[in-house]
Amino acid sequence: MCTGAVGVEHRHLVDLEQRVLACACGACATLFDREGACGGRFRTVPERYVGDPQWRPAPEAGKALAALDVRGGLAFFVRRCGAGQVLAVRPGPAGPVESEVEPGLWQAAFAGAAPARLLVDDVEALLLWSDTGRARCALVPLDAAFALLAALRPLWREPDGGPAARARVTAFLADLDRRAVPVPATARWGTPA
């Protein structure tokens, strides 16, 4: 943004008009950290990971979760503020696959999921992972979600990703467990926005 040096460890901005991530120095990341800053085109991607080990899909959410078509047990959901939509982003052999999620399906699938209530539009992703009867829901930075999807692309084998992709997802989940802070108690009530 400012032509300043960007180190190996750096933050990212989301260009809301172009829907792309951009590298940022610390000063620029701070500058765009608030919604609407500098005209609102750019937003800094937060660094928080929020886990909810207590989350279990409600029985009535099972149908909605099944309708989300989670490939290989993994999908990320991004809420777009300006467009009023939720996008599902799934791994695939040609790269991330996006599809729009109906608002009613989103509400039904994630009712009671505290990370969904905390999700910040455009800059964070809601991770849904499921495997043989187990399911997880967590909040991750948007750049981390797309980094995982990029790492999965050359590994992905249909229909479920294959062993190498599953190993990479397992490593991501272990890293998420190390980084995640627990869901605040105040976020446990109600349904996602």
- Give, in order, the Cα–Cα distances in Å from 6 to each of 2, 15, 36, 128: 10, 17, 24, 32
- Into how many domains does the chain fold? 2
- Is 190's pLDDT higher than 60? no
| Within a domain: 58 | yes
Together in a domain, 155 and 177: yes
Quick: pLDDT tens for 78-93: 999 866 799 999 998 9
Average pLDDT of span 55-70: 81
Helices (H), the chain: 26-31, 62-67, 103-110, 114-118, 142-152, 162-179
| d(C-alpha 93, C-alpha 72), whole Å | 12
Quick: pLDDT tens for 73-128: 899 999 998 667 999 999 989 999 999 999 889 989 988 889 999 999 999 999 99
| d(C-alpha 180, C-alpha 182), whole Å | 6
| Within a domain: 122 | yes
| Within a domain: 96 | yes
Together in a domain, 79 and 143: yes
| Within a domain: 137 | yes
Residue 155: name the closest of 163, 145, 147 by CA. 163
- Name the CA radius of gyration of the chain, rounded: 16
Domain that holds residue 38: 11-44
- Is 28's pLDDT higher than 60? yes
Contact 12, 21 (CB under 8 A): yes
Number of H helices and number of E strands within the chain? 6, 10
Residue 149 tokens, joined: 């999807």
Four-point Cα dihedral 16, 173, 178, 25, nearest 10: -30
Together in a domain, 78 and 168: yes
Quick: pLDDT tens for 149-175: 999 999 999 888 999 999 999 999 999
Model's pTM, two decimal places?
0.88
Together in a domain, 18 and 36: yes
Together in a domain, 64 and 152: yes
Together in a domain, 54 and 148: yes
